[in-house]
């Protein structure tokens, strides 16, 4: 890959070459969990070896230069291992998980304002101590708290402490195919447990925690103030208010999910997900503002300090997402470079340095989708924007501005679309049009919102600016919703794997680098990747055509099963899951995309149904969702699978007298205590029992 002026990026920024082994060390530690003694031994050994190299004669050092570079890479891998090890809270001797036992009391600090959910209040808590055998053990660690609506959880504030007496639950994935790996996501936040609290499970402790941060309290108060200003002055519908709150400070609790989906379908969801674009707009505004204030513009140092202070406060005010922190770190390097060295900083160098700094602070940013998309977008713009823009020469000034914006969108999309397809399984076909509309409009809205908050004290300013923001957001929403109505607005349900995603990057890298550098080998590389991608896609479709499965999904408090043949499926379960709503989109849709299921059938050709009995290929399945009403037969009915659903009043012993079956499945519509009781019975009767809530979705390959 080369820059538009022909200098290879790899050679232009040596730090990029050093990042790879460091990143490799982070990944190795997560997947292999290397022990601390091994890491320390590696660091010491490679450090000594690297330093001893400088004691060798110059001629020998020249000959052994590749070995010296190899040792440096091993040293960076070891450093990545160490950074990841120390960031994992489970390795801290004071982590509460090292002391916690069931029935212990926990002293927990409320670490953020409570957020109202449909059936509960949610907040992040920080364990300060565990009461064990009448002894208070100081400890640390984060966990998720859910308060039932009848427990008056909304009266709690940041910094309050509560004493809870309820068994913690380990955070687990649903186990549904293709589902979001929430367990890993929470682990990257250093959160491993959650707990649902009713009124009797907790009491508020006297006094506030001494550990709570006054600066953090200031950030929370500032967020509440900004939200109150928008709500009072805009007097808007929920759609407009939700977009305005998300665009200014990243507050997403008031967003309508259908509206967010429309923004995603049209390729402008980055407008409402606080990103580097927002911080860039703030940076431009601050530079312009401080350059016009007499006593500030005389001092570059004062300008730099004020700009960076405002940028970082805004970054923390928006929640400190990885994409925003990335931008703040980059602008810090750029601003410091201009102030100290009085010369513009290299964008590529700033990018590489910010990656290193951010991963040193939190190595788990590496798996953050926002982090990945943010760096890929900026890298794409830096590398491809000029070559794309140079493809067309437009005389008209305004049309040229439009083409510049389109070139930026195309450049950013080149490196982000494979990752977007991998995570979201869709491609916004109208992204060029929607970005031309939404990006300038959102910039105007952002500046208007800042003016609204800053000038609220002026007579009539708040009312006028509030109405202006409301109208501008309404206009942007209408444009996005109108474009989303087009039948070709989005290419949906695109299957993707890690392997095909890397092949797509090979195609993009090979062909784009060939177009820029005219290197035939790069063209051959891109062509080879395209051929491999085509073969992988063909094999994947062949596998899909042959698949025959039965899936019992993990949908809390609901029955949900799919009988699958090829790309068709027959659904058995609660009718509410047939609706294209949150339940289906969150629990069922990812699996159906992952398995490439296209069409729901009322009845598959090779399935026979008789009441609660299903014959699918060579497998016989019975669904038990009511108490048994039949007499005990002389001969048991042979079945391959018994699915117990809807919490029927029965015992496994009763079922064992009716059915000759070795595999029982208890779906998520049953209560946990009942499933536990049935599993004990299964163990006594030497029967395999699968708990959907505890072990995840059950998948049975039927075969040919």
Question: Average pLDDT of 589-593?
Answer: 91
Beta bridge partners of 202: 164
CB atoms within 10 A of CB 99: 17
CA distance 637 to 621: 11
Q: Name 87's Cβ contacts closer than 8 Å, sequence gap at least 6.
A: 190, 362, 363, 364
CA distance 106 to 126: 10
Q: Do the Cβ atoms of 619 and 700 come closer than 8 Å?
A: yes
Long-range contacts, 309-317 (Cβ 8 Å, 24+): 310/282, 310/286, 311/279, 311/282, 311/283, 311/286, 313/219, 314/279, 314/282, 315/279, 316/219, 317/219, 317/222, 317/223, 317/226, 317/249
Confidence check: pLDDT of 3 > 70: no
CA distance 102 to 122: 22
Which pLDDT tens digit goes with each residue over 625-677?
Answer: 988 776 777 788 899 999 999 999 999 999 999 999 999 999 999 999 999 99
CA distance 347 to 27: 26
pLDDT confidence bin for 98, thresholds 50/70/90: very high
Range 478-495 burial, b when 16+ CB lie within 10 A, else e: ebbeebbeeeebbeeebb
Global confidence as pTM: 0.88
Confidence check: pLDDT of 108 > 90: yes
483: left (phi over 0), alpha (psi -120 to 50) or beta: alpha
8-state DSSP, 346: P
Q: What is the pLDDT of residue 364?
A: 95
Question: Average pLDDT of 75-85?
Answer: 96
CA distance 339 to 201: 56
Is residue 214 helix, strand or coil?
Answer: helix
Confidence check: pLDDT of 40 > 50: yes
Which pLDDT tens digit goes with each residue over 507-555?
Answer: 999 999 898 888 889 999 999 999 999 999 999 999 999 999 999 999 9
Q: What is the pLDDT of residue 5?
A: 41
CA distance 383 to 372: 16
pLDDT confidence bin for 1, thresholds 50/70/90: very low
Confidence check: pLDDT of 339 > 80: no
Q: What is the pLDDT of residue 294?
A: 80
Q: Name 31's Cβ contacts closer than 8 Å, sequence gap at least 6.
A: none
Q: How far, CA to CA in Å, does 487 sit from each of 384, 437, 438? A: 30, 19, 20
Is residue 108 helix, strand or coil?
Answer: strand
Number of H helices, E strands in the chain: 25, 24
Q: What percent of the chain has pLDDT over 90?
A: 55
Q: How far, CA to CA in Å, does 481 sit from each of 246, 266, 434? A: 17, 9, 10
Which pLDDT tens digit goes with each residue over 120-163?
Answer: 899 999 999 999 888 899 999 999 999 988 766 567 889 899 99
Q: What is the pLDDT of residue 16?
A: 72
In a 10 Å sphere around its CB, with 0-12 CB exposed, 13-18 middle and 19+ buried, how is residue 243 labelled?
A: buried
Q: Which residue has the tokens 């195309």?
A: 410
To which H or E segment does residue 663 belong?
strand 663-666
User: Higher-confidence residue: 211 or 103?
Assistant: 103
Which pLDDT tens digit goes with each residue over 231-265?
Answer: 988 877 888 999 999 999 888 888 888 898 899 99
Q: What percent of the chain has pLDDT over 70?
A: 95
CA distance 692 to 670: 9
Confidence check: pLDDT of 337 > 90: no
Q: Which residue has the tokens 């946990």?
A: 672
CA distance 159 to 189: 20
User: Higher-confidence residue: 40 or 516?
Assistant: 40
Q: Do the Cβ atoms of 97 and 192 come closer than 8 Å?
A: yes
To which H or E segment does residue 374 belong?
helix 369-389
Question: Average pLDDT of 580-601?
Answer: 87
To which H or E segment does residue 326 belong?
helix 322-336
Q: How far is CA 494 from the centre of its chain?
A: 19
Q: What is the pLDDT of residue 153?
A: 56
Question: Average pLDDT of 608-622?
Answer: 90
CATH number of 96-211: 2.40.50
Q: What is the pLDDT of residue 562?
A: 95
Q: What is the pLDDT of residue 22?
A: 94
Is residue 561 helix, strand or coil?
Answer: strand
Q: What is the pLDDT of residue 301?
A: 84
Please give the structure tokens belonging to residue 531: 């051929």
Range 444-477 burial, b when 16+ CB lie within 10 A, else e: ebbebbbbbbeebeeeeebeebbebbbebbeebb
CA distance 286 to 67: 48
Is residue 17 helix, strand or coil?
Answer: helix
Q: What is the pLDDT of residue 192?
A: 96
Mean pLDDT of the chain: 88
Q: What is the pLDDT of residue 660?
A: 93
Q: What is the pLDDT of residue 274?
A: 78
Q: What is the pLDDT of residue 351?
A: 84
Q: Do the Cβ atoms of 511 and 523 come closer than 8 Å?
A: yes
Q: What is the pLDDT of residue 419?
A: 94
* Among 3-7, 36-40, 420-424, 523-527, the least confident range: 3-7
CA distance 33 to 396: 59
To which H or E segment does residue 110 belong?
strand 105-110
Q: How many residues does the chain have?
A: 704
Q: What is the pLDDT of residue 2?
A: 44
CA distance 246 to 251: 5
pLDDT confidence bin for 704, thresholds 50/70/90: low
Confidence check: pLDDT of 45 > 80: yes
Strands 568-573 and 560-565: antiparallel
Which pLDDT tens digit goes with each residue over 443-468?
Answer: 999 999 999 999 888 878 888 999 99
User: Higher-confidence residue: 3 or 523?
Assistant: 523
Q: What is the pLDDT of residue 82?
A: 96
DSSP 471-527: HHHHHHHHHHHHHHTSTTSEE------HHHHHHHHHHHHHHHHHHHH--HHHHHHHH
Beta bridge partners of 563: 550, 570
Please give the structure tokens belonging to residue 683: 């163990």
Question: Average pLDDT of 202-215?
Answer: 79
Strands 663-666 and 688-691: parallel
CB atoms within 10 A of CB 160: 18
pLDDT confidence bin for 10, thresholds 50/70/90: very low
Q: Which residue has the tokens 């029927």?
A: 648
């Amino acid at each position: 890959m080369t820059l538009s002026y022909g200098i290879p990026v790899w050679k232009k920024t040596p730090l990029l070459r050093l990042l790879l082994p460091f990143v490799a060390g982070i990944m190795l530690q997560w997947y292999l969990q290397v022990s601390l003694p091994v890491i320390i031994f590696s660091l010491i050994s490679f450090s000594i070896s690297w330093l001893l190299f400088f004691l060798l004669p110059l001629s020998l050092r020249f000959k052994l230069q590749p070995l010296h570079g190899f040792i440096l890479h091993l040293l960076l891998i070891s450093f990545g291992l160490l950074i990841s090890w120390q960031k994992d809270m489970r390795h801290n001797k004071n982590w509460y998980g090292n002391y916690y036992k069931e029935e212990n009391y926990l002293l927990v600090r409320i670490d953020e304002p409570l957020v109202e959910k449909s059936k509960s209040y949610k907040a992040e808590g920080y364990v300060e101590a565990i009461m064990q055998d009448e002894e208070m053990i100081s400890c640390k660690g984060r966990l998720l708290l859910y308060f039932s609506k009848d427990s008056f959880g909304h009266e709690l504030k940041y910094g309050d402490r509560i004493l809870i007496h309820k068994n913690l639950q380990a955070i687990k994935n649903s186990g549904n195919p293709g589902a979001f790996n929430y367990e890993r996501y929470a682990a990257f936040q250093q959160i491993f447990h959650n707990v649902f609290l009713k009124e009797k499970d907790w009491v508020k402790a006297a006094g506030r925690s001494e550990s709570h941060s006054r600066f953090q309290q200031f950030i929370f108060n500032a967020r509440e103030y900004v939200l109150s200003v928008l709500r009072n002055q805009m007097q808007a519908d929920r759609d407009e208010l939700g977009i305005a709150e998300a665009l200014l400070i990243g507050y997403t609790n008031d967003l309508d999910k259908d509206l967010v989906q429309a923004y995603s379908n049209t390729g402008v969801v980055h407008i409402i997900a606080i990103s580097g674009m927002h911080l860039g707009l703030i940076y431009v505004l601050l530079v312009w503002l401080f350059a016009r204030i007499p006593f500030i513009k005389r001092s570059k140092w004062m300008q730099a300090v004020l700009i960076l202070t405002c940028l970082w406060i805004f970054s923390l005010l928006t929640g400190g997402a990885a994409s925003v922190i990335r931008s703040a770190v980059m602008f810090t390097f750029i601003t410091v470079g201009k102030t100290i060295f009085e010369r513009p900083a290299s964008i590529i160098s700033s990018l590489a340095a910010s990656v290193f700094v951010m991963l040193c602070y939190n190595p788990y940013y590496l798996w953050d989708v926002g982090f990945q998309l943010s760096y890929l977008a900026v890298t794409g713009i830096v590398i491809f924007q000029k070559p794309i823009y140079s493809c067309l020469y437009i005389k008209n000034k305004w049309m040229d501005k439009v083409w510049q914006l389109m070139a930026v969108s195309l450049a950013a999309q080149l490196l982000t679309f494979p990752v977007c397809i991998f995570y979201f399984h869709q491609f916004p076909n109208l992204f060029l049009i929607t970005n031309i509309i939404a990006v300038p409009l959102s910039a105007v809205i952002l500046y208007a919102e800042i003016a609204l908050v800053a000038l609220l004290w002026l007579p009539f300013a708040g009312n006028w600016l509030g109405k202006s923001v409301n109208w501008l957001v309404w206009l942007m929403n209408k444009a996005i919703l109108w474009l989303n109505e087009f039948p070709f607005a989005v290419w949906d349900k695109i299957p993707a794997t890690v392997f095909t995603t890397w092949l797509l990057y090979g195609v993009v890298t090979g062909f784009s680098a060939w177009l820029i550098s005219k290197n035939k080998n790069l063209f051959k590389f891109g062509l080879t990747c395209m051929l491999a991608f085509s073969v992988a896609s063909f094999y994947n479709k062949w596998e899909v055509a042959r698949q025959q499965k039965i899936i019992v999904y993990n949908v809390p408090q609901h029955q949900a099963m799919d009988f699958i043949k090829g790309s068709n499926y027959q659904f058995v379960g609660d009718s509410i899951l047939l609706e294209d709503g949150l339940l289906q989109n969150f629990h069922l849709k990812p699996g159906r995309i992952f398995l490439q299921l296209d069409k729901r059938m009322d009845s598959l050709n090779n399935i026979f149904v008789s009441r609660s009995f299903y014959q699918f290929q060579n497998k016989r399945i019975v669904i038990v969702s009511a108490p048994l009403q039949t007499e005990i037969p002389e001969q048991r009915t042979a079945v391959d699978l018994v699915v117990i659903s809807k919490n029927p009043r029965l015992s496994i012993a009763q079922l064992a007298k009716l059915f000759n079956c070795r595999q029982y499945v208890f779906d998520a519509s049953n209560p946990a205590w009942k499933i536990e009781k049935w599993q004990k019975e299964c163990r006594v009767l030497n029967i395999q029992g699968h708990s959907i809530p505890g072990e995840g979705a059950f998948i049975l390959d039927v075969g040919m």
